[in-house]
Amino acid sequence: SDDLRNMYVKPVQLKAGRFFSFDFKFETRHEVKNFDADQAKEQVQQLLETHFLQADLFGLEADSSLTIFSSGKMKLKSRKIAKREAPDMQHDRQKKRLLNPTEVWWFQLGLTDREGNILPSMQHKFKQINRYTEILSGLFKSAQLTDKMRVVDMGSGKGYLTFALYEYLQNQLNLKPLITGVEMREDLVEKTNAIAQHSGLDGLNFALGSIAGFPLEAIEVLIALHACDTATDDAIAAGIKAGAKLIVCAPCCHKQIRKEITAGAQQHPALQFGILMERQAEILTDTLRALIMEYHGYKSQIMEFVELEHSPKNLLLTGIKSATETDKESIGSRIKSLKQEYGIKVHFLEKALGIEPF
């Protein structure tokens, strides 16, 4: 189908033997089909020819990425990672949660009752928090962080994700993280600090402040999942300046680049319709963010939240600090070329970083 957006494949063990489960993500639905090894190979080859220009393979000790260019040429990159656990191939297993709903803080945060049962009205929220944690867990392992990592969660709100991260890192990975949630609403800061103290979470605290104004010392992880418009750029810039090994943002409200696209560029056929102009502005905004992060030595990636279908803004922009030297000349040229094509004079991330526009 033409509205196929993504495809995720995992091995499963069925009564008939080992198969591969294909989860096809369409614009408004998803379909799951199982194929044997030969059929799976045929499906992947066919879809790489007709639908997709990139494929990512996640292994136990290394990840690989295949990129197909418009010329037909292909490029395969591989990199070693911290060793992953082998996936559970039980097809109909009960999904393992990374978070324990019986922990006292979930009751105090209003997601469970006193016995640790998730409230009916919060079932979807708890599932969402688990999904966030699952995504971040893979990024943490890839970034190879230290045992006493310092994490800053910009715009922590009610603290759901901040508490989830602390619980996962401490209880699942046996680490001793130092996590700070930064929030502008004083009442939420007071409430979440009280819950953390009552729960005995010594390495978790919340501070009053904004993304742009909060002073950052050396940190390993910066997270900003509720940063609107240019606040996302403030968060990325703060992470880069602080030397973060991992930056995770969920961009939304892409207004700045929409205003920057010049009248001449708007004559492009793809930009003659308002809705397409908005979408193209979103794509340009996040593409330039990813490229600027790469310019500063990060391996950037834009991924999709698979299970958050209720949210139209379901992209995640991540950057892992690379150990290899960056080809700044090549990346800078790509940034400059893309900006010139659409008449963009400056991206707000350039301002936030205090650098000359490309």
105 plus 63 within the same structural domain: no
136 plus 202 within the same structural domain: yes
User: What is the DSSP code string of 55-93?
Assistant: EEEE-SSEEEEEEE-TTS-EEEEEEE-SPPPPPP-BTTP
**Which residues, 6 or more positions from 279, have their beta carbon under 8 angstroms from its beta carbon?**
none
How many Cα atoms occupy the beta-carbon half-sphere of 270 within 13 Å?
9
What is the tens place of the pLDDT at every residue in 348-358?
A: 999 999 998 88
262 plus 353 within the same structural domain: yes
The domain boundary residue, chosen from 209, 229, 264? 209
Q: For the domain that residue 158 is a member of, what is the CATH number?
A: 3.40.50.150
Work out how many domains the chain is built from and give that number.
3
Q: Is 110 a domain residue?
A: yes
Contact between 179 and 151 under an 8 Å Cβ cutoff? The reply is yes
What phi and psi values does residue 26 have, to the nearest 5 degrees? -100, 180
123 plus 176 within the same structural domain: yes
Q: Is 85 a domain residue?
A: no
43 plus 127 within the same structural domain: no
The domain boundary residue, chosen from 149, 174, 209? 209
Strand, helix or coil for residue 155: coil
* Dist. CA 27–CA 25, nearest whole Å: 7
What is the tens place of the pLDDT at every residue in 24-60?
A: 888 767 788 899 999 999 999 999 988 899 999 988 8
What pLDDT does residue 303 have? Answer: 84
Instruction: Using alpha carbons, list the distances in angstroms from residue 218 to 149, 178, 242.
Output: 10, 12, 5
263 plus 356 within the same structural domain: yes
More confident residue, 229 or 107: 107
* Dist. CA 309–CA 109, nearest whole Å: 24
Whether pTM exceeds 0.85 = no
Instruction: Share the mean pLDDT of the chain.
Output: 87
Strand, helix or coil for residue 149: coil
Contact between 240 and 293 under an 8 Å Cβ cutoff? The reply is yes
Q: Is 313 a domain residue?
A: yes
Q: Is 341 a domain residue?
A: yes
The domain boundary residue, chosen from 209, 240, 271? 209
For Cα atoms 280, 286, 292, give the angle at the middle one, nearest 5 degrees: 130
* Dist. CA 292–CA 237, nearest whole Å: 10
More confident residue, 313 or 207: 207
Return the percentage of the chain with pLDDT > 70, whole number: 92
* Dist. CA 197–CA 205, nearest whole Å: 8
> Residue 307 is part of which domain span?
253-358
49 plus 113 within the same structural domain: no
Q: Is 131 a domain residue?
A: yes
* Dist. CA 358–CA 350, nearest whole Å: 8
Q: Is the pLDDT of residue 118 over 90?
A: yes
102 plus 188 within the same structural domain: yes
314 plus 348 within the same structural domain: yes
Least confident stretch, 4-13, 90-99, 130-139, 145-154:
90-99
70 plus 134 within the same structural domain: no
Q: Is the pLDDT of residue 311 over 50?
A: no
* Dist. CA 303–CA 324, nearest whole Å: 22
Q: Is 231 a domain residue?
A: no
Q: Is the pLDDT of residue 332 over 60?
A: yes
Q: Is 45 a domain residue?
A: yes
Residues forming beta bridges with residue 58, ordered by sequence position: 63
52 plus 135 within the same structural domain: no
Please name the residue ranges forming H helices in 11-50: 37-50
* Dist. CA 233–CA 249, nearest whole Å: 9
Contact between 76 and 6 under an 8 Å Cβ cutoff? The reply is no
70 plus 105 within the same structural domain: no
Q: Is 326 a domain residue?
A: yes
Q: Is the pLDDT of residue 308 over 50?
A: no
